[in-house]
């Protein structure tokens, strides 16, 4: 049975049983505890917590999930994936244990002809929580014999989110793969032979504070008993398809097949290679799913996880023998395999490919840099007669430069060296512990939003701001410090919930309106407006006059000037987006935005900086559209029709069944957008690009002023240009040429100054040679350089001194004093090296005196110290060390 059919059968089974089918949420949700959605129930958390009343009593979904806690272990086991699909059925105070058990058992054991999966009931085992007699009795009733039901403790069969909130005992269903896969005895004996395929959580209690799976207090029962189940689609697939593991299923094995073609190696021949093939298959799929939901490679958070995944693909392919880039081919296979269930992988493939290939290109450059750094580290080890690269060096290559340890091991072996793997693993373990501690520290209980529940259940705030700036409204509630209050006095801060409001609540990149709430003798200044559950407007305000009481009828007004500037900024963003796509092409896709009065910031997916010509063209196209006075039309339609019309959607955003489309100038710009806009494009005013920059790998940012702010900026620039022209005594249009002439003259002067400076430094070389001390058979120059000589000039001086000793053994050590630092250079000529003198060894002798360190090759070492006062002691240490070596 193919995986897509397994998904469909699950959903159909529960829809027939009265459940509402709910689409998978994006992998990115606004939950402070989660980088990614990692369980099927995450999008339903507000219902389980009682913060919102669900729109349905029961639901079913197949949720896409990502878990990345142990990325390094992917591929080592054959049943874990970073991306997986969790099929689930949920009850919000409706049915409980009996129905959940019956529905799961019938789907698993009913024949394929009857719509089930056709599992042999004789091969299914069940676990229940230690004292859950009720669940055991129900499993017996559906036909599971007592000897195939096992009781397990809290760590295995008691569920919670790891933070205070709902919890409860659970019951897991296992499939026995047979004696060839392990020992008899059920799940307690061997979880490789007995594979968990379904977990039924009986959510009935509330947990308190604590850490871990079993170290917390159970506070008491929940107001309602809920059901949360999860069936692993990938695990069921490999069992129904008769293969040994998830990597050999219909949605994974073709990726491995492609990797075999790209690398020339075969899967199933060597365990180490097999792990690398599985890493490629797993990470390629996860990477594509993250990119399509709006994640871009970066240096922290979600972006860092994606970057690691993509780079591990490149690394694994390279270790398997790939000599050319692989990402484009792998992403194409993933898209073709997964698109039947996730069609956005096909429609957005161009962007997925661009992001993935861009990261591959960047990492290949990093690998080249890492190879150079490895060569330096290996040379340093060999020069000292060593045989092992330090664990700290291997860790630095891995952590700082992204150079993988397995490549370090391979290259070390080729160079006849080993690596201190224990030291490396210890440092990696410390890093992981810091990361886990940090993640745990950032976890906290979900914000208590129960105070808003009645208001959310009442219905959405009516937003009147598309048609008017002033609206009569009734005060539905007042909230202060998280508590509902009947009245708020002058001087207090309060959250005001109205039945209707013209003030825009922050969303879609547009910041909230500012405004007022007034009545006879009453005035509140509205400082911010936010949404609760995407439907209730919360006006965060300060009472400036009078007192406001729940039930009051008031006038809510958006600041007209603020709104005008905000609409200019938001409409200007649409113009810039359209211009970017016109100049750069369809891959310049929105990755975020910020609009406020007079200003816009637009982030988009793109590899590489824009040229001056491209920026000028984007500005010109945007302003041409402003000048064309395009009409701005808005209308509401369903999502499929909007996409069919070509409306642009924000990647990773979850849209409802109905969407609002903003159309500017017909085909020029059409986007899904809930923001406020001008009525004609000319009302935006001039658009002036301020600059363009990188905010992460594959993501660029443009910023611009619009309207009056644009005019003010241009006026300021004009005044600045006029001042420069006046100083240079040339017309404004000649300023660039004149500045260029001055810059060239300055460069010439600086070069001449540098030549003079070097000549002055080198003129002292003869003096240092004359001061050379004979120590045994070696001539030693150990001296303080002239004050202010920088490291580069110090090296030039030392090299010149060394050259004046012809073939006689000589050691030159110069310590400088420049800008509060103590740069140094040690150089040893060939004759002295033959006697056993090495520049790097000498640094170790005097370095502590100046709080410095450095390194290099036997003939030359250089570095810097932070304590110039130690120079005399350092020179004395050099003389003593050379004397000892000479003896």
DSSP single-letter state for residue 601: E
398 is in an annotated binding site: no
DSSP state of 810: E
> What are residue 582's DSSP bridge partners?
none
Q: Which residues pair with 822 in a beta bridge?
A: 865
Angstrom distance (rounded) from CA 706 to CA 684: 7
Q: Between helices 301-319 and 253-263, what is the axis angle to 10°?
A: 50
Report residue 601: phi and psi, to 5°. -135, 130
Consult the annotation and say whether 4 binds a ligand: no
Q: What is the spatial distance between Cα 259 and Cα 267, in angstroms, rounded to a whole number? A: 9
CB 651 within 8 A of CB 292: yes
DSSP per position, 471-514 = EEEEEEEEEETTEEESEE-TT-EEEEEESEESSPPSBTTBPPP-
Local structure of residue 196 (DSSP, 8 states) = E
Helix (H) / strand (E) element for 436: namely helix 421-442
What does the chain come to in residues? 887
CA 784 to the chain's CA centroid: 50
CA 167/CA 206 separation, integer angstroms = 6
Q: Which ranges constitute the DSSP H helices of 75-231?
A: 97-109, 133-142, 154-157
829-868 burial code (b ≥16 CB/10 A, e <16) = bebbbeeebbbbbbbebbbebbebebebebbbbbbbbebb
Please indicate if the annotation marks 673 as binding a ligand: yes
Instruction: Report which DSSP code applies to 39.
Output: S
444 is in an annotated binding site: no
H/E element holding 434? helix 421-442
Q: Contact 674/466 with Cβ under 8 angstroms?
A: no
For residues 374 and 417, is the Cβ–Cβ distance under 8 A? no
> Strands 470-480, 462-463: parallel, antiparallel or unpaired by DSSP?
unpaired
Secondary structure percentages of the chain, helix, strand, coil, to 5: 45, 25, 30
Give 455's Cβ-side CA count (13 Å radius). Answer: 27
Q: Determine whether 663 is exposed, middle or buried from the number of CB atoms within 10 Å of its CB (0-12, 13-18, 19+).
A: buried
C-alpha to C-alpha distances, 445 to 48, 163, 205, 439, 440, nearest whole angstrom: 14, 6, 16, 13, 12
Element (H, E) at 703: strand 699-706
- Whole-number Å distance between alpha carbons of 270 and 297: 31
Measuring CA to CA, which residue among 382, 408, 412 is closest to residue 395? Answer: 408
Pairing of strands 462-463, 500-501: parallel
CA angle, 108 then 112 then 114, to 5°? 90
Q: Which residues are annotated as a binding site for Zn(2+)?
A: 570, 574, 673, 677
Q: Which residues are annotated as a binding site?
A: 570, 574, 673, 677
């Amino acid at each position: 049975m193919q995986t897509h059919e397994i998904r469909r059968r699950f959903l159909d089974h529960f829809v027939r049983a009265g459940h509402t089918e709910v689409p998978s949420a994006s992998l990115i949700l606004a939950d402070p505890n989660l980088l990614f959605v990692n369980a099927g129930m995450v999008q339903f958390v507000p219902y389980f917590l009682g913060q919102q009343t669900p729109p349905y009593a029961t639901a079913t979904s197949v949720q896409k999930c990502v878990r990345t806690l142990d990325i390094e272990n992917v591929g080592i086991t054959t049943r874990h994936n970073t991306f997986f699909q969790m099929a689930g059925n949920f009850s919000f105070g409706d049915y409980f244990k009996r129905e959940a058990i019956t529905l799961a058992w019938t789907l698993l054991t009913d024949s394929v002809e009857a719509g089930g999966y056709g599992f042999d009931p004789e091969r299914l085992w069940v676990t229940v929580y230690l004292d859950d007699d009720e669940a055991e009795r129900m499993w017996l009733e559906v036909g599971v014999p007592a000897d195939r039901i096992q009781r397990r403790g809290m760590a295995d069969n008691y569920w919670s989110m790891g933070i205070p909130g709902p919890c409860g005992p659970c019951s897991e269903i296992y499939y026995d793969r047979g004696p060839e896969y392990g020992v008899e005895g059920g799940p307690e004996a061997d979880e490789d032979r007995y594979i968990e395929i379904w977990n039924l959580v009986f959510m009935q209690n509330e947990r308190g504070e604590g850490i871990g799976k079993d170290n917390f207090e159970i506070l008491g029962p929940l107001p309602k008993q809920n059901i949360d189940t999860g069936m692993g689609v990938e695990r069921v697939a490999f069992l129904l398809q008769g293969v040994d593991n998830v990597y050999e299923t219909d949605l994974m094995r073709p990726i491995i097949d492609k990797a075999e073609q790209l690398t020339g190696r075969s899967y199933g021949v060597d365990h180490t290679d097999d792990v690398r093939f599985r890493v490629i298959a797993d990470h390629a799929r996860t990477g594509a799913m993250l990119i399509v939901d709006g994640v871009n490679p970066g240096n922290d958070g979600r972006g860092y996880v994606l970057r690691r995944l993509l780079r591990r693909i490149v690394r694994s392919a390279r270790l398997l023998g790939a000599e050319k880039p692989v990402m484009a081919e792998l992403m194409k296979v993933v898209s073709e395999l997964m698109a039947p269930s996730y069609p956005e992988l096909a429609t957005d493939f161009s962007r997925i490919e661009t992001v993935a290939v861009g990261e591959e290109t960047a990492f290949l450059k990093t690998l080249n840099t890492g190879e150079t750094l490895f060569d330096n580290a290996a040379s340093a080890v060999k020069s000292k007669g060593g045989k092992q690269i330090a664990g700290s060096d291997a860790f630095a290559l891995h952590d700082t430069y992204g150079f993988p340890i397995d490549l370090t091991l391979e290259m070390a072996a080729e160079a006849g060296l080993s690596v201190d793997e224990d030291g490396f693993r210890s440092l990696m373990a410390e890093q992981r512990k810091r990361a886990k501690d940090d993640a745990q520290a950032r976890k906290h209980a979900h914000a208590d939003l129960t105070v808003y529940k009645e208001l959310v259940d009442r219905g959405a705030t009516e937003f009147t701001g598309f048609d008017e700036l002033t609206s009569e409204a009734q005060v539905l509630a007042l909230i202060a410090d998280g508590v509902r209050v009947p009245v708020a006095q002058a001087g207090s801060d309060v959250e005001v919930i109205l039945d209707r409001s013209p003030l825009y609540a922050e969303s879609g990149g547009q910041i909230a309106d500012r405004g007022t709430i007034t009545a006879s003798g009453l005035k509140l200044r509205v400082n911010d407006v936010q949404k609760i559950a995407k439907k209730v407007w919360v006006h965060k305000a300060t009472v400036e006059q009078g007192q406001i009481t729940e039930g009051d009828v008031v006038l809510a007004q958006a600041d007209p000037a603020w709104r005008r500037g905000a609409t200019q900024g938001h409409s200007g963003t649409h113009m810039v987006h359209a211009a970017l796509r016109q100049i750069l092409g369809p891959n310049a896709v929105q990755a975020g935005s910020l609009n406020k009065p007079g200003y816009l910031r637009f982030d988009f997916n793109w590899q590489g900086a824009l040229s001056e010509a491209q920026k000028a063209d984007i500005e010109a196209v945007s302003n041409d559209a402003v000048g064309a006075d395009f009409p701005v039309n808005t209308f509401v339609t369903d999502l499929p029709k909007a996409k069919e019309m070509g409306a642009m959607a924000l990647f990773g955003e979850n849209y409802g069944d109905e969407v609002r489309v903003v159309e500017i100038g017909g085909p020029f710009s059409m986007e899904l957008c809930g923001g406020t806009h001008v009525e004609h494009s000319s009302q935006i005013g001039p658009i002036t690009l301020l600059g363009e920059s990188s905010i992460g790998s594959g993501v660029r940012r443009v910023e611009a002023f619009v309207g009056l702010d644009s005019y003010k900026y241009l006026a300021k620039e004009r005044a600045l240009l006029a001042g420069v022209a006046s100083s240079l005594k040339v017309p404004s249009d000649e300023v660039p040429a004149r500045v260029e002439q001055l810059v060239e003259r300055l460069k010439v002067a600086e070069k001449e100054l540098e030549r003079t400076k070097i000549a002055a430094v080198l003129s002292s070389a003869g003096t240092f040679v004359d001061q050379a001390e004979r120590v045994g058979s070696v001539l030693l120059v150990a001296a303080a350089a002239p004050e202010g000589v920088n490291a580069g000039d110090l090296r030039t001086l030392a090299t010149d001194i060394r050259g004046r000793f012809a073939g006689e053994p000589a050691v030159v050590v110069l310590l400088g004093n420049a800008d509060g630092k103590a740069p140094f250079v040690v150089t040893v000529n060939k004759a002295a090296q033959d006697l056993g003198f090495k520049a790097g060894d000498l640094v170790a002798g005097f370095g502590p005196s100046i709080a410095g360190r450095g390194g290099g090759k036997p003939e030359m070492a250089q570095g810097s110290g932070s304590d110039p006062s130690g120079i005399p002691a350092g020179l004395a240490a050099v003389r003593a060390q050379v004397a000892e070596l000479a003896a």
